[in-house]
Amino acid sequence: MIQTIIFDSYGTLFDVNVLSNKLNNYFPGDGEAINKTWRDKQLDYAFIREITGTYCPFSKVVRDSLHYAVNKHGYELQPYQEIELLQAYLTLPVYPEVKSVLTQLNQKSCAILSNGSHDMLDPLIINTGLYPFFTRIISTDEIRHYKPNPLCYHYASLALASPKTETLYVSANEFGIAGANSYGFYTAWINRDKNPLDRLDSLPTAVYQDLNGILEWS
């Protein structure tokens, strides 16, 4: 029986797509494209640093990838734009169903496991009012690794004293699901965009269009 539910953060609880609007204010017509490049490059940088053993906190990854994304689309990032865009990461909105779902999961131990470093993750969770729903906020920065390295899930399992067989990992990011699968957690992929499954050797335990689906584990 599932006793612990571990949530990913960005793209799972928090909507990063809204940053397109802010980017569009600075770079008219290119906000959506820049935001996609920004997010894609965050993942690239995190994966490269994990593989090469050149770890840095995710807040630096986010900043570096922002500069790359803006430059790629033909612009120069001004200091005030950098400040405001990075600040926006601390006030991302939650998806519409998040608070209702977390309220209904009050009989479970809920936690967050994020690649985000505490300097950006903790203010976001406090600003959105989600802090009371979670027993623990875990950043992979605590062990200087990035998901999908199985060490991250092992660390969460130990920190929460939650055996694999009693733990569900929830994420909208398939790379995170792949890592949790390899460690041995039950997994729920939140497929908001109705994408095909990645061609990997393991499949999520369950697939849902939004977080309401995980209520069947309650």
Alpha-carbon separation of residue 100 from 1, 106, 131, 191 (angstroms): 22, 10, 14, 19
Co-location of 203 and 102 in the same domain: yes
Residue 202's pLDDT is what? 83
Co-location of 33 and 105 in the same domain: no
Active-site residue set:
8
Phi, psi of 206 (to 5 degrees): -150, 155
User: Residue 72: which CATH number?
Assistant: 1.10.150.240
Looking at 88, 122, 145, the residue that finishes a domain is 88
Q: 13-23 pLDDT, tens per residue?
A: 999 999 999 99
CB under 8 A, 24+ apart: contacts of 18-27: 18/92, 18/93, 19/85, 19/88, 19/89, 19/92, 22/84, 22/85, 22/88, 23/85, 26/75, 26/81, 26/85, 27/70, 27/73, 27/75
- Give the domain extent around 151: 4-15+93-217
Co-location of 79 and 151 in the same domain: no
Co-location of 140 and 74 in the same domain: no
Is the pLDDT reported for residue 196 higher than 90?
yes
Distance CA 217, CA 142 (A): 29
CB under 8 A, 24+ apart: contacts of 31-34: 33/73, 34/69, 34/70, 34/72, 34/73, 34/75
User: Residue 148: which CATH number?
Assistant: 3.40.50.1000
The distance in angstroms from the start CA to the end CA of the chain is 9
Structure tokens at 136: 């623990």
- Total structural domains in the chain? 2
Whether pTM > 0.85 for this model: the answer is yes
Phi, psi of 129 (to 5 degrees): 75, 15
Q: 135-151 pLDDT, tens per residue?
A: 999 999 999 999 999 99
Pairing of β 186-190 and β 167-171: parallel
Q: 201-213 pLDDT, tens per residue?
A: 889 999 999 999 9
Q: CA 25 from chain center: how many Å? A: 25
Is the pLDDT reported for residue 59 higher than 90?
yes
Length of the chain: 218
Co-location of 67 and 81 in the same domain: yes
Looking at 88, 103, 137, the residue that finishes a domain is 88
Alpha-carbon separation of residue 102 from 6, 97, 129, 134, 150 (angstroms): 11, 9, 12, 9, 26
Co-location of 8 and 112 in the same domain: yes
* Higher pLDDT among residues 38 and 197, named by residue: 38
Co-location of 11 and 49 in the same domain: no
Co-location of 37 and 102 in the same domain: no
DSSP assignment, residue 172?
A: S
Structure tokens at 1: 């029986």
Looking at 88, 111, 138, the residue that finishes a domain is 88
Residue 170 pairs with which residues in a beta bridge?
Answer: 7, 188
Co-location of 136 and 80 in the same domain: no
Give the residue among 101, 113, 93 at the shortest CA–CA distance from 176. 113
